[in-house]
């Protein structure tokens, strides 16, 4: 299995195509809202009428303080949790109400690198098993095809062959993050959502991982939604930056002009915090 750029519209669920999104949008989110314990007075409005678009092959950075709703947005976007209202259209397919069979097919194209990927990696599995697992789950029966894909992927993310038999506990933070990235890319998804891929790493390793993500995007043409704490990193890695504050997107601009043009006070405070 080679790692050529993904095909045009693999996995598109028949009959679910929504032609309304602008051409080229890989992600179109409209009024996405998530209220935990909906209907209860003490419910939490974690994501509040969020709308944005990400063009195919582009990257959106989502920045905001802890508790602003970033991880909830990531999970709603991929329908890993059901939004309370609004919709996410991915590659022209509205995920809401998709039959499980179609959703499964669509999932192959959508991957989440979860926050705290250390905890998300099964401690009993080897690096090879972790990276290979999505291929197994999605029915690749040929072991030598799987092995070739794993080797190619590990090479692409810069992990040495000698690490394939190791368990996550025997890896550095940076190596674990590379394993998570390899696992998320092995199915050659069209969209990868990365939830704080570098926040647990020291500055030097952060730079390595961010540069790796950039070069992988160039090689594979993947669309990214990347959640980050750091506006400067988002600006460096992404084409567009959205700033989230208390469940809402308060600013959304091209990365190149966010510093000059930002007008929301919360964005200004993030800019002032850049060393």
Among 13, 61, 63, 71, binds Mg ion (CB under 5 A): 71
How far apart are CB 176 and ligand ATP at their closest, in Å?
A: 18
CB of 122 to Mg ion, least distance (A): 21
Nearer to ligand ATP (CB atom), residue 35 or residue 176: 35
* CA distances to 1, 11, 21, 41, 104 from 6, in Å: 12, 11, 21, 46, 18
Residue (47 or 186) nearer to ligand ATP, CB:
47
Contact status: 68 vs Mg ion (CB under 5 A): no
Nearer to ligand ATP, 37 or 162 (CB): 37
State which residue, 46 or 77, has the beta carbon closest to ligand ATP.
46
Residue 44 near which of Mg ion, ligand ATP, none (CB within 5-8 Å, type-dependent): ligand ATP
The phi, psi pair for 102, rounded to 5°, reads: -70, -40
Determine the Cα–Cα distance for residues 163 and 251; give it in Å rounded to an integer: 42
* Residues ≥6 apart with Cβ < 8 Å to 258: 231, 235, 241, 251, 267, 271
Minimum separation from the CB atom of position 243 to ligand ATP (A): 12
- Three-state secondary structure call for residue 273: coil
Tally Cβ neighbours within 10 Å of residue 71: 22
Residues touching Mg ion: how many (CB under 5 A)?
3
What's the closest the beta carbon of residue 244 comes to ligand ATP, in angstroms? Answer: 7
When CB distances are held under 5 to 8 angstroms depending on the partner's kind, the choice from Mg ion, ligand ATP, none that residue 67 binds is ligand ATP
Residue 175 sits at φ, ψ, to 5 deg, of: -65, -40
Q: Which does 175 bind (CB under 5 to 8 A by kind): ligand ATP, Mg ion, none?
A: none
43 binds, among Mg ion, ligand ATP, none (CB under 5 to 8 A by kind): none
Q: What are phi and psi of 87, to 5 degrees?
A: -145, 155
Please report how close the Cβ of residue 271 comes to ligand ATP at its closest, in angstroms: 18
- In the block, tokens 């209220």 appear at 35
Nearer to ligand ATP, 116 or 161 (CB): 116
Spatial separation of the C-alpha atoms in residues 135 and 181, rounded to whole Å: 14
Q: Which is nearer to ligand ATP, 74 or 220 (CB)?
A: 74
The two structure tokens encoding residue 160? 């040495």
Contacts with ligand ATP by CB under 6 A lie at: 36, 44, 46, 64, 66-72, 115
Residue 36 backbone class (left: φ over 0; alpha: ψ -120 to 50; beta: rest): beta
The torsion region of residue 262 among left (phi > 0), alpha (psi -120 to 50) and beta comes to beta
Contacts by 158-162, CB closer than 8 A, 24 or more apart: 158/212, 159/127
Residue 232's binding partner among ligand ATP, Mg ion, none (Cβ under 5 to 8 angstroms by kind) is none
Site membership for Mg ion, residue 59 (CB under 5 A):
no
d(CA 6, CA 232): 30
- Nearest residue to Mg ion on Cβ basis: 71
CB of 36 to ligand ATP, least distance (A): 3
Binders in 95-124 for Mg ion, by CB under 5 A: 115
Which residues of this protein are in contact with Mg ion, per CB under 5 A? 70-71, 115
């Amino acid at each position: 299995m080679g790692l050529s750029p993904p095909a045009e519209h693999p996995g598109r669920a028949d009959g679910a195509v929504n032609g309304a999104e602008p051409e080229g949008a890989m992600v179109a989110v409209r009024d996405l809202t998530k209220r935990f314990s909906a209907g209860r007075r003490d419910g939490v409005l974690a994501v509040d009428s969020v709308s944005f678009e990400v063009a195919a092959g582009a990257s959106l950075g989502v920045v905001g303080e802890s508790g602003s709703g970033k991880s909830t947005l990531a999970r709603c976007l991929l329908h890993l949790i059901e939004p309370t209202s609004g919709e996410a259209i991915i590659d022209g397919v509205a995920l809401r109400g998709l039959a499980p069979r179609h959703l499964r097919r669509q999932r192959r194209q959508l991957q989440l690198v979860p926050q705290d990927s250390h905890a998300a990696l099964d401690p009993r599995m080897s690096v090879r098993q972790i990276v290979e697992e999505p291929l197994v789950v999605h029915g690749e029966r040929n072991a030598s095809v799987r092995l070739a894909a794993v080797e190619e992927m590990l090479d692409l993310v810069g992990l040495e062959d000698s690490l394939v038999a190791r368990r996550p506990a025997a890896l550095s933070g940076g190596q674990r993050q590379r394993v998570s990235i390899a696992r998320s890319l092995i199915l050659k998804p069209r969209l990868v959502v990365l939830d704080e891929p570098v926040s647990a790493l020291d500055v030097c390793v952060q730079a390595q991982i961010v540069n790796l993500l950039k070069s992988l995007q160039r090689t594979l043409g993947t669309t990214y939604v990347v959640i980050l704490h750091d506006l400067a990193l988002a600006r460096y890695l992404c084409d567009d930056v959205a700033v989230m504050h208390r469940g809402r997107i308060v600013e959304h601009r091209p990365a190149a002009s966010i510093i000059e043009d930002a007008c929301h006070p919360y964005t200004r405070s993030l800019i002032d915090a850049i060393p």
